[in-house]
Every structure is written in structure tokens, then in C-alpha cells.
Structure 1
Amino acid sequence: MRDQNTAYLVSIIIPIFNREALIVETLQSIKNQTYLNWECILVDDGSTDQTIEVIKSFIEKDQRFVLLKRPELEEKGANVCRNIGMAKSSGDYLVFFDSDDLMVSTYLEKQLQNIVNNNADLSVCKMDFFEKNDRYFTRKKPCYHQELWENYVTRQLTILTGSVMWRKRFLDSHHLNFNIKLQAAQEWDFISRGLLHAPVHAFEDSLLYHSRIHGF
């Protein structure tokens, strides 16, 4: 790969709604990335707490963070916000992330290196889950198999939006975006439709992504 800190732009797209208590950890994990050439597009879905003020404090110090707002006439929802972020993104590669999850500091570097070295359309990394008491755990289902689409749609694999880096050109060529009519299983729908187009895929055998579990 070319100069690992300048070669390609990665766009990180995050829908946000009332996350003032958790968004700092997420944004700090992005700011701590060893790969430097990224933009983080945060699309607000109408927050009423101090989320916007928290984000603005990051933007003041680092203009790689960008804040957008869902137009009032647009339908409310995370999927609408993801589509807005994707349309506004300038990156060669895209990551759809959640506003309460965490990236390991080498997430962008290793995912990008894996996808470029394998000339792939997407890279899937290892992930785990954590609770509010910082107890980390993994699930029994693997996150990768050579027969990726078949095993994913039959629920044999655990893949979340945050564990995948996509080549933007692949998503654009197949006109892939998030279904704004769905109220559940939005990421399953998006990923399964993407995999249906038989992308060249690669697996990054590193634990790079922490997904927060609520309700404990």
C-alpha cells in the first residue's frame, strides 16, 4: 500500500440522536486512529439534548469531523441519516458506524490495508460486544466464511455495519443504500443486498470493533 497515512480517504458515517452521554467515547476512538486520512460525517436526526454541542467541541479542534442535519422534510430515522452521509461523502472507502460503539486505534489502518492488498470490495473484521460495565465478550457465531452471503442470510455469521469497510465504487455501481421504510433489521437488509452482488471480500483477522450492548 502507498503511504499508509495519506493514500486513500475513508469516510466514516454516523447517524446520531440524543447521544450526549456516549458520543465522546465514540468520537475519541475515531480521533485516536493510526490512519490519518479520514472524514467523519455525523448526521443529526433531531437531537434535543447536548449532543450537538459535544460534537461542535470536536469540530473546533479537528475539522475532519463534519456535522450535518437531516432536513426537516426528510423522514426521520437512522437509515435516512446514513443515506444523507453517504451522498455527502468524499471517501474512496466507507464505514457505517454507530454513535455508541468504539473503534480500536488500528481499525482504519488494518481494514484499509486488507481491502487494498486483496483488491477487495469489502473487508470484514473481528468484533466483540461490551456492556456499560466494560465487560467484553464474544458470541459463538463466527464473523467470516468463504460463502459469505449464504452464511450471513441464514444467520450463521455475526456481521454488523460497523465491522465492514466498503469500497464506495462498489456501493455506487450497484446503487446500494439503506431502506428508509424498514423499522427493524436495517443493517441485515443492507449487508445482505450488498453481498448478493458477489463482492470480492477479505477478512481482517484482528479484533478491531467493539459494539455496545444496552439494557443491562
Structure 2
Amino acid sequence: MTTEPSSSGAFLEIRNLCKRFPSGQQKLTVLEDFDLTLKHAELLAIVGRSGSGKTTLLNLIAGLDRADGGSILLEGRELIGLDDEDWVEVRQSDMGFVFQFNQLLPEFTALENVMLPGMLRSRDKQALESKAHDLLARMGMEHRASHRPTQLSGGERQRTAIARALINDPRLLLADEPTGSLDLESGQRVLELLFRLQKELKISCMLVTHNPALANLCDRIHQIESRSES
């Protein structure tokens, strides 16, 4: 595990981040005075015990939950304090997400699932469809584009989810245990594709994992220590 890099020129800079959740008559502190930086095109592994705040961290970065204090700077732009509309714009234009459970919509084909984030941004449908086909091809899924999620294997569903995360050309990719629901062979295949595209597209990526072997494949590891207090 390397030391934290200088914040100078950091792509993402988090300082003094705090998050507490109600727990009965007390409050559970998940993150407190948390600092982290992510460099351009860096692949960073976030590790820690269950309940240490790994998923909470990703949710705060994405504005899916709100911090109780601190700062989140994306290329110098302060995200904490944005209203809901601005958060949506940041998520749609700058961020892509890969979840442990793919969260594909079952009524849509693989191609339609990949296209969906672009459609929400009212992008040209023909150009969007072409790009979605290209991403599925890069994920080895071109022959499955017309299949619905129930017709796909677990690994195929997760590869579709990665393609969906990349459709809007995000600068930041947030991946929360992306192979946690897959068997070893399928998970290895998904990771190889994810890591290859991350390097090719020069995307900054934050990957949450419990797997030390997976973490060691990343450029750097950040350990979150478990803590709680009232």
C-alpha cells in the first residue's frame, strides 16, 4: 500500500468527509475526517471490513447520499452543497457506476440497457445505438445485444452493466464489488475487461473490494478503518 499522493493536480480530492447515520437514540459514525485523493486515469482499490463505509463513500461522491461535513472536489469543483438538479447533471455527465448486482432493467434488451443513460441525456438515438453496439462488442457481447437480462449469464449481465456505465464517456468510474456476485471464472473475465477498458479510455476509477488479490492488481490501495461512535 503506497502513501497518499499530493493533492496538487488531483482529479478527485476528498477532505475531512463526515457521515453519520441515526442508530436508535444515537448516531453511528461511518466516516469522520476522511481524506482521499484520486489521480487522473488512476485505478484505486478501496478496501476495509464490512460496515467500514466503503459503499457509503461511493454514494457520497455520487451525491446519492449527503455528507454531514467536509469537501469533495472534482477537478477543483466543490460538489458538496450542490442542489439535486446539479448533482444529477454531474452524475450523468461525469460519472459511471458498476454495482455488485447489475441492476439491469429486465424488460429491456442488453443493448437498450446500455443505451438508457444516454437516452436520459436526450442524446441522438442513432449515434447512441452505434456506440452501445461498439461497447458491447468490446465487452465480447455483440452476439447478445438483443437478449434480455434473464437470457444472460451472470458474467454477461455484469459486462452489460460495465458497457452501460461507459456509455456517457464518464471521467470517473465508481465500481462497488463488481464481481462480488460472480463465480471465480466469470469474475476474472469481467475484471480483465474492466481493467483493460479503464486503461484504454484513461478513466479515473475507484473500485470497492473485499478481495486482496483484486486490490493488488490496482494502481494503489486505500484502507478504510472501521469506526463507530455516538
TM-score (norm 1): 0.29
Q: Which of the pair has the greater relative contact order for Cα pairs under 8 Å at 6+ separation?
A: 2
Which of 1 and 2 has greater Rg? 2
